[in-house]
Amino acid sequence: MEAMQGGQIGLVLQQAKAPLIVPLLKLVVVLCLGMSVMLFVEKVYMGIVITLIKLFRRKPEKKWKWEAVKDDVELGNSAYPMVLVQIPMYNEKEVYQLSIGAACGLSWPSDRIIIQVLDDSTDPATKDLVELEVQRWASKGININYEIRGNRNGYKAGALKEGMKHSYVKQCDYVAIFDADFQPEPDFLWRTIPFLIHNPEVALVQTRWKFVNSDECLMTRIQEMSLDYHFTVEQEVGSATHAFFGFNGTAGVWRIAALNDAGGWKDRTTVEDMDLAVRASLGGWKFVYLSDVKVKNELPSTFKAYRYQQHRWSCGPANLFRKMVMEIVRNKKVSPMKKFHVIYSFFFVRKIVAHIVTFVFYCIILPATVLVPEVQVPIWGAVYIPSIITLLNAVGTPRSLHLMIFWILFENVMSLHRTKATFIGLFEAGRVNEWVVTEKLGDALKTKSGGKAARRPRSRIGERLHMLELIVGFYLFFCGCYDLAFGKNGYFIFLFIQSIAFFIAGVGYVGTFVPNS
């Protein structure tokens, strides 16, 4: 009976193949090739621009008016602008001392800086520790305030918005924002504030991230490759061409007048930083990116933390695009070219197409053509374009060029979650407003294991199994076996290797395993 049913299913599929499956697959292949070309053109354009920037050494100090802040005998310290430093945190037991200590170590006249610790912690023990740390620095003469609220409405955006309501903020001209694991160098304000003082049209000065734990494991090395490309190419190109680049949510300084002019912090998506940046840009404000100013921070080194972070970073922009696309189109303050850049280049290609084409084309459609040999993918779409895109992505981190294969395989695995999150954001589905704070380990690993994290399985297998990765892994493995046995494409080598990557992620053997306390 079962054999008959299996034969009937096979017959139905065979009959549907020519009139339905083949035309549909051909259409999807054409769409994926079109998206690949869009991404390829975007990467090549940015590659050309960044090459010209490096050749002509166009530093921000040459493009913008910049002059060091100097003492004024008559005015004294009042010649210096008042700066607010905000540190939003939530149960940051492992890193709160690092961020508060770094903020309190910023070099600036002591009576012209206010540090604000915005603690949304729900763990009473952590709250007590943070408050004690604030009191310790206050006893040393630091102007530091510990602020809490009775709820977590709006998450980080809500905390920042609430922080701006305090009366002492009214005297401040600029606000520097640092997440709980960020450690600015003492000269951070001396190097950033002059851009805001001497260029009244500048709303934001964004600096680069420097990763203190990039060598923790292979996963952090791969993250470094992706983020280095973002900072060395995407942010640099956006700043140099005066087109648009996003606020990274931390390690940046805002002109408070510009922040208010843009409508302040909004919690309508999980990317409140990007939301604010887009609104400020549409208001005609300019941004400056400083690649030479680096702020130390921590990469998520557990697979669970990284998945949550990537969900937020992929879902939020897609949802913001849905909410703002018509607002951008109707805007009258910026040029049509800038609007086109924000809608097409920044949002559509980088935040939507890049995620979807990576997973759908390389992990679903390309393997499917093995099962349907009537559909062919041209070699330029299957090999040449992705190879060039990969090489252009890798230039940001030359020290990791030998890890390029691992980067490709892992990025394809993560594209599964990014694609899912992108569709959730576009259609405002279930987890659209999910906000899980990225877990930071700080010095916890060194304390617990005397060095790098011990690599041992967690006690519950269920916590380590990821069914989506396993399902895609089996699909790729099946397609690889079919190609090896019956196909002519020669994709089986890629399919087998990629399936192994999905299996490894599927059983949770990725990143750092934190020893049980």
Contact 162, 118 (CB under 8 A): yes
Residue 229: the pLDDT is: 95
Residue 73: the pLDDT is: 67
Residue 79: the pLDDT is: 84
| β-sheet bridge partners, residue 85 | 115, 176
Question: CA 204, CA 195: separation in Å to the nearest integer?
Answer: 9
In sequence order, what are the residues at sequence separation of 6 or more whose Cβ sits closer than 8 angstroms to the Cβ of residue 52? Answer: none
Residue 462: the pLDDT is: 63
Contact 270, 317 (CB under 8 A): no
- Residue identified by tokens 């009244």 is 200
Question: CA 227, CA 294: separation in Å to the nearest integer?
Answer: 13
From the DSSP assignment, how many helices (H) and strands (E) are in the chain? 21, 7
The DSSP secondary-structure symbol of 165 reads: T
Residue 444: the pLDDT is: 47
Question: CA 260, CA 232: separation in Å to the nearest integer?
Answer: 29
pLDDT one digit per residue (tens) for the chain, 517 residues: 544 554 555 566 666 677 788 999 999 999 999 999 999 999 999 999 999 988 887 788 788 898 988 877 677 778 899 999 999 999 999 999 999 999 999 999 999 999 999 999 999 999 999 999 999 999 999 999 999 998 999 999 999 999 999 999 999 999 999 999 999 999 999 999 999 999 999 999 999 999 999 999 999 999 999 999 999 999 999 988 877 888 999 999 999 999 999 999 999 999 999 999 999 999 999 999 999 999 999 999 999 999 999 999 999 999 999 999 999 999 999 999 999 999 999 999 999 999 999 999 999 999 999 999 999 999 999 999 999 999 998 878 888 989 999 999 999 999 999 999 999 999 998 878 887 878 777 654 444 444 444 444 444 556 678 999 999 999 999 999 999 999 888 899 999 999 999 999 999 999 887 655 3
In sequence order, what are the residues at sequence separation of 6 or more whose Cβ sits closer than 8 angstroms to the Cβ of residue 165? Answer: none
Which of 120, 181, 228, 267 is an active site residue? Answer: 120
Kindly write down the DSSP assignment for every residue of 168-221, as one continuous string. Answer: GGGG-SEEEE--TT-B--TTHHHHHHHHHHH-TTEEEEEEEEEETTTTSSHHHH
Domains of the chain (ranges, CATH numbers): 61-302 (3.90.550.10)
In sequence order, what are the residues at sequence separation of 6 or more whose Cβ sits closer than 8 angstroms to the Cβ of residue 266? Answer: 157, 272, 275, 276
3-state secondary structure (DSSP) of residue 514 = coil
Which of 179, 181, 228, 273 is an active site residue? Answer: 273
Short-list 348, 354, 328, CA closest to 339: 328
Residue 452: the pLDDT is: 46
Asked if 120 is an active-site residue, the reply is: yes
In sequence order, what are the residues at sequence separation of 6 or more whose Cβ sits closer than 8 angstroms to the Cβ of residue 511? Answer: 217, 219, 220, 300, 301, 302, 303, 306
Asked if 128 is an active-site residue, the reply is: no
Question: CA 279, CA 30: separation in Å to the nearest integer?
Answer: 35
For the chain, how far is it from start to end, CA to CA, in angstroms?
55
Single pTM value for the model: 0.91
Residue 456: the pLDDT is: 41
Question: CA 236, CA 229: separation in Å to the nearest integer?
Answer: 10
Residue 149: the pLDDT is: 94
Q: Residue 393: exposed, middle, or buried by beta-carbon count in 10 A (0-12, 13-18, 19+)?
A: buried
